[in-house]
Structure 1
Amino acid sequence: MASAADRMASNISLGKFAQATELRKRLWFTLGALVVFRFLSHVPLPGVDPRALATLYDTTRGGVLDFFNNFSGGALERMSVIALGVMPYITASIVVQLSTSLSPQLAAIKKEGESGRKRLNQYTRYGTVFLTAIQGWFIAVGLENWGATQGMSAVIEPGLLFRITCVVSLIGGTMFLMWLGEQITSRGIGNGVSLIIMAGIVSQLPRALVNLFEGARTGTMNPLLILGILVLALGLIAFICFMERAQRRVLIQYPKRQTARGMMQGDKSFLPLKINTSGVIPPIFASSLLLMPLTVAQFAGKSVAGESTAGDIMLQITSLLQHGSPLYMALYGAGIIFFSFFYTAVVFNPEETAENLKKYGGFVPGIRPGKATETYLDYVLTRITVIGAAYLTLICLVPEFITSQFGIALALGGTSLLIVVNVTMDTVTQIQSHLLAHQYGDLIKKAKLKGARNR
């Protein structure tokens, strides 16, 4: 049965949307910020030869760089100032969040509230600069030596000046994207970083679909196979929508209370626990942890391949962890499962929830308040997280398996599809919330006007 909020949301007309000026401003700001992001993806690094770079990049299509390029919206292929995207920021966030669970000092900072959150965000920014500098240096060295065996060079004037310029430009681009994501979150609609990642993925979709249908036209791909891919994509989208809305509702009972008018009946409510509490974070975290080192290894390996044992080892590691390889999928699945449990523990604290229920007199029927409630909530959360982790792993690895077995480059991989659907659902939900808030605001204003007239 639909809730009252859902019924009210369905009754919101386009006229109400036109009257919500604050929502329109937020939507226009979000759209403008994403346009700026797409514009920056076409601004190349200083000193890079675009033609030579495009020729060299064609030799690595289908590998790790191609997958990472999909997340950056083609910025890596063009080697723009935002070639690294927001992945260094995400990696730094992972490190900081893991550190808060391992370090008592950082855990104490986290408990300080808003001031502690600001300090941890500052540490995340420092980590982003550090990681971008390291990755930018390896990319600059790799660009200088990339194509040396073919008599080509993607860099016009190699040297120390180019390396410093490349590192500074990449740091500036990544930090600007991080700032832009924060501005979208505070002044726009939705999570800024997630929207930036989604915009990069969606920007690659038209070209991928054109290549797919071009293959059917030229006869290189079976039309029935393309139809099967589209049906599979629609099925995965429906499955994602179903699982993202699925929840385990825990019954909460409140005792009867004595008032001046007599005995009040005890209230009942539900504590909703989402099957996928961690959302889209585990695939993003797992892919960023795999892609960043592999990107550095691939550039560094190409720069010293054949000259040292270290370079050959790097290239060998890169080949073993190619996108779609068994080892890559095993590590990717393990990362998704780990971050599903880790991020769920970060988002939902059974001890704090049990304490709050006890404070306000609520209890789970048949479970004693306090420690027993905490144990019960932790037990329920662990069971549903197993289902959520299995669902995320299945969604992300099925397209990978199809790609590796049949050699078909899907327009959207499992991770990309999951990100696009999740971010779209979250954005639509926030838009509905703003419309509901605007509608309630109008009702309150009308009630105040009627009250003033009656006086």
Structure 2
Amino acid sequence: MFKTLRNAWKIEDLRKKLIYTLIIIVIFRLGVAMPVPFLDPGSLSEMVNATGSMLGYINMLTGGAFAQATLFALSVTPYINASIIIQLLTVALPPLERLAQEGEEGRRKINRITRYTGAGIALALAMAYFALLKSRNAVQYTEGWQGWFAAAVIVLAFTAGSMLIMWLGEQIDKKGIGNGISLLIFAGIVSRLGTMPATIYNYVVGLINGFKAGGDLTQLNLGGQIVYLTAEGTAAYPWYYILYLLLIVVLMLASVVFVVVMTSGERRIPVQYAKRVVGRKMYGGQATHIPIKVNMSGVMPVIFASSLISIPGTIKSIFNITGTGFWATFLGWFNYNGVAYALIYALLILAFNYFYVAIQYNPVEIANNLRKNNGAIPGIRPGKPTTDFIVKVLGKITFIGAVFLMVIALLPIVVGNLTHINIQLGGTSLLIVVGVALDTARQLESFMLMRHHKGFLE
């Protein structure tokens, strides 16, 4: 990865694209730190940072802007939602399906529809976010014409910030390198890792305090989080937490390698094209393959599942539901550290993975295209047998991909329960970071190959 970046910097065209992309990312980070007037977001920090809350998940995607109620608080969330909605409607509505099949012009129209849909979603989310801020007494003016003016400024600022991010992502697509929206999400997630050195330092200090205390520690359970204190009241950790720390480091490295291998892995279905004579020339006869990626749906099933499973925890945080009543007990089943949460989370990932693959791949269409082009899978007859074979292969690959996503998504939860340590880089974040890094590296290599710089890739 770093070697590819270094070699790409030597090419003038690629260097301009990289500089342009970096400038856009800097503008994005400035917008994340730019406060919206008439707001005091301090009262939101506890609710937004609650583990397992959908607000905490949105805050992760926005790079911390959501918790601080800054200009880019909504980030790319409206655009992602609009893209998912339009993609699903493209399968369900014939007019959109025809547009998708019209080539470049159809894609431009669909992109325009997606932008308009994203603007509508951004306005709705901005109003909902304002209502949440108002309920938490984070708005300075709430009465009279001043309240109406403050509401209009806040809602329009959030909406405009979201549309500006959408435009910045499109500029990266046109003049930069990589996928613009993905790179902005990547920048937001990576920026939150800046607190990791301080976290590690505090953890090491806690280990030292634990050694000095000689094991005489007080264990407290604060909202499901286990806290250890010395007799002097300073934070401490037992000696065996060193093993936990080593285990976390090993698992993080193994997870990165696992994600890279599975993201790049694919099942290749061999295809043989028959020879045919046209005039005096012979065409066909070559052997090729149909690549089917193990992780065909990417991070989308995890995003869908995270959004749904975190709704009960978000409701519990917003309305501050406590006690032993029905709703408190029911919402308690969806505690981030609970077994029920992990099981439902895994089942949702499995279901969404199958659903997303089903709308992406059409085995009947693939089999028909092979027949039209005089192609066939060796040992499989054209027509329905080819369709059945592709369906069987897709089913196996989809299950393997779903298991992979479940392992990556649930690993931070399991490790956190065992060690009582908050894992900074969760499964969704890891998939996004690794996926964007690999995709950007592939694009850089493609640009260099097109310019025949073979020596750079050796």
Does the TM-score normalized on the shorter chain lie above 0.5?
yes
The equivalent residue for 2:215 is: none
Deviations 1:235-274 (CA, angstroms, capped at 9, x unpaired): 1111111111221111111234569999999432222211
CA distance in 2, matches of 1:391, 1:172: 38
Deviation at 1:360, TM superposition (A): 2.6
CA distance in 2, matches of 1:122, 1:318: 40
CA distance in 1, matches of 2:149, 2:61: 29
The equivalent residue for 1:213 is: 201
Deviations 1:261-292 (CA, angstroms, capped at 9, x unpaired): 9999943222221111122332234334556x
Q: How do 1:248-397 residues align onto structure 2 when only pairs under 5 Å count?
A: 248-256=267-275, 266-288=285-307, 297=315, 301=319, 321-397=334-410
Deviations 1:361-382 (CA, angstroms, capped at 9, x unpaired): 2211111223332332222112
CA distance in 2, matches of 1:61, 1:260: 70
Deviation at 1:156, TM superposition (A): 2.0
CA distance in 2, matches of 1:73, 1:398: 22
Q: How do 1:122-133 residues align onto structure 2 when only pairs under 5 Å count?
A: 122-133=112-123
Asked if 1:181 is matched to 2:199, the reply is no
Q: Per the alignment, do residues 314 and 98 of structure 1 end up closer, same or farther by CA in structure 2, a change over 3 Å counting? A: farther
- Among 138, 155, 178, which residue is 1:154 paired with? 138
CA distance in 2, matches of 1:263, 1:37: 55
- Among 14, 37, 40, which residue is 1:46 paired with? 37
Contact 1:57 1:77 in 2 (8 A): yes
Asked if 1:399 is matched to 2:383, the reply is no
The equivalent residue for 1:33 is: 24
Asked if 1:227 is matched to 2:246, the reply is yes
Deviation at 1:141, TM superposition (A): 2.1
What letter matches 2:27 in structure 1?
Answer: V
CA distance in 2, matches of 1:41, 1:100: 33
What letter matches 2:191 in structure 1?
Answer: S
- Among 75, 79, 104, which residue is 2:94 paired with? 104
Deviation at 1:107, TM superposition (A): 2.8
SS at match of 2:298: coil
Deviations 1:157-181 (CA, angstroms, capped at 9, x unpaired): 2223222222111111111111211
What letter matches 1:97 in structure 2?
Answer: Q
CA distance in 2, matches of 1:192, 1:17: 18
Counting aligned pairs with the same residue, the percent is: 36
CA distance in 2, matches of 1:322, 1:83: 26
CA distance in 1, matches of 2:16, 2:452: 17
SS at match of 2:271: strand
- Among 202, 215, 236, which residue is 2:190 paired with? 202
Deviations 1:34-81 (CA, angstroms, capped at 9, x unpaired): 1111111001111013xxx33551465333233332221110121111
Contact 2:59 2:65 in 1 (8 A): yes
What letter matches 2:319 in structure 1?
Answer: G
Contact 1:216 1:223 in 2 (8 A): no
The equivalent residue for 2:62 is: 72
In structure 2, list runs of 5 or more residues that go unmatched.
Answer: 208-235
SS at match of 2:291: strand
Deviations 1:127-156 (CA, angstroms, capped at 9, x unpaired): 32232222222221222231xxxxxx4222
Q: Number of residue pairs matched?
A: 416
Q: Per the alignment, do residues 377 and 115 of structure 1 end up closer, same or farther by CA in structure 2, a change over 3 Å counting? A: same
CA distance in 1, matches of 2:281, 2:119: 64
In structure 1, list runs of 5 or more residues that go unmatched.
Answer: 1-8, 147-152, 307-311, 443-455
Deviation at 1:295, TM superposition (A): 9.1
The equivalent residue for 1:448 is: none
Q: Per the alignment, do residues 61 and 10 of structure 1 end up closer, same or farther by CA in structure 2, a change over 3 Å counting? A: closer
What letter matches 2:402 in structure 1?
Answer: A
CA distance in 2, matches of 1:339, 1:374: 22
SS at match of 2:353: helix
Deviation at 1:232, TM superposition (A): 0.5
CA distance in 1, matches of 2:76, 2:113: 16
SS at match of 1:272: strand
SS at match of 2:151: helix
CA distance in 2, matches of 1:224, 1:249: 41
Contact 1:251 1:365 in 2 (8 A): yes
Q: 352-361 or 84-93: which moved more? A: 352-361
Contact 2:313 2:335 in 1 (8 A): no
What letter matches 1:157 in structure 2?
Answer: Y
Q: 433-442 or 158-167: which moved more? A: 433-442
Deviation at 1:436, TM superposition (A): 0.7
SS at match of 1:250: strand
Asked if 1:136 is matched to 2:126, the reply is yes
- Among 49, 62, 79, which residue is 1:89 paired with? 79
CA distance in 1, matches of 2:278, 2:93: 48
SS at match of 1:439: coil
Deviation at 1:327, TM superposition (A): 4.8
Q: Per the alignment, do residues 393 and 367 of structure 1 end up closer, same or farther by CA in structure 2, a change over 3 Å counting? A: same
What letter matches 1:43 in structure 2?
Answer: M
The equivalent residue for 1:451 is: none
SS at match of 2:452: helix
CA distance in 2, matches of 1:12, 1:41: 29
Contact 2:66 2:73 in 1 (8 A): yes
Q: Per the alignment, do residues 320 and 145 of structure 1 end up closer, same or farther by CA in structure 2, a change over 3 Å counting? A: farther
